[in-house]
């Protein structure tokens, strides 16, 4: 730790060190002194800044999720006019690509969550927040109950697809992409039946389906531009 390190800088260093150790150790086996030593931060400062091992893990997850969303945004902007459904597929796929080098960490977290429901709920909330960023980036306003239902629906898609992603050894994660497409189609069918999605022109894809994410009855992102009513 240097005199110029801010709390955010220390959290970044500590979360990176914790994340590296998580590849071989369960969250319960991680110790703040070991993490502080690896990060070059005084143990007392590490305790003061982080608060807990879980907070370091969640901090790193949030950093990876922001990276994934911002990189997806750059790709989407370069592609020009892209339907919302395609944006969601692209962003979900890129998130799995970003996490691909960290399958060991995600396996540790999954096992730990089964033993610790409190941790599981925090990890679920982290995923929901990541999906909320993803959908806003794609242009979904997310206003009201229906917007939150779409967030939960896409989060569910991500959780189901992760089962395929964990063992997807194809060079381009093609099995994961195929599963995303399949599960999004199922989610859209459920969304229409539950009136979470409109039957209007939310997206058009090669299959000829219409309606979908980002077209709530309250005009969604159209009224004030993407993300116009920030919840």
Domain range summary for the chain, segments of one domain joined by +: 1-51, 67-222
Contact criterion met (CB below 8 Å) for 137 and 73? yes
Please check whether the domain covering 1-51 is classified as CATH 2.30.29.
no
CB-based contacts of 68: which residues, under 8 Å, 6+ apart?
91, 94, 95, 97, 98, 99, 130
How does pLDDT run along the chain (231 residues), one tens digit per residue? 555 689 999 999 999 999 999 999 999 999 999 999 999 999 999 999 999 999 999 999 999 999 999 999 998 888 778 788 899 999 999 999 999 999 999 999 999 999 999 999 999 999 999 999 999 998 888 878 888 888 999 999 999 999 999 999 999 999 999 999 999 998 888 767 666 555 433 433 443 344 455 443 333 333 333 333 323
Cα separation, 163 vs 174, whole angstroms: 14
DSSP annotation of 204 reads: B
Cα separation, 26 vs 39, whole angstroms: 18
Cα separation, 60 vs 15, whole angstroms: 5
């Amino acid at each position: 730790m240097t005199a110029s390190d801010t709390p955010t800088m220390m959290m970044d260093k500590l979360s990176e060190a914790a994340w590296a150790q998580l590849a071989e150790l369960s969250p319960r086996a991680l110790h703040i002194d070991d993490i502080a030593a690896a990060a070059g931060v005084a143990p007392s400062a590490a305790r003061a800044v982080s608060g807990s091992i879980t907070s370091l893990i969640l901090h790193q997850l949030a950093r990876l999720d922001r990276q994934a969303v911002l990189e997806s945004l750059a790709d989407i902007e370069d592609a020009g006019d892209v339907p919302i459904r395609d944006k969601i597929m692209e962003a979900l796929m890129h998130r799995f690509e970003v996490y691909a080098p960290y399958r060991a960490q995600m396996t540790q977290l999954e096992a730990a969550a089964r033993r610790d429901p409190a941790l599981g709920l925090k990890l679920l909330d982290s995923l929901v927040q990541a999906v909320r960023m993803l959908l806003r980036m794609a242009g979904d306003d997310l206003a009201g109950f229906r917007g939150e239902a779409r967030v939960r629906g896409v989060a569910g898609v991500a959780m189901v697809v992760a089962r395929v992603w964990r063992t997807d050894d194809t060079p381009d994660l093609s099995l994961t992409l195929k599963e995303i497409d399949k599960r999004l189609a199922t989610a859209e069918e459920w969304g229409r039946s539950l009136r979470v999605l409109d039957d209007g022109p939310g997206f058009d894809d090669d299959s000829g389906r219409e309606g979908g994410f980002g077209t709530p009855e309250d005009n969604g992102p159209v009224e004030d531009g993407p993300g116009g009513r920030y919840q």
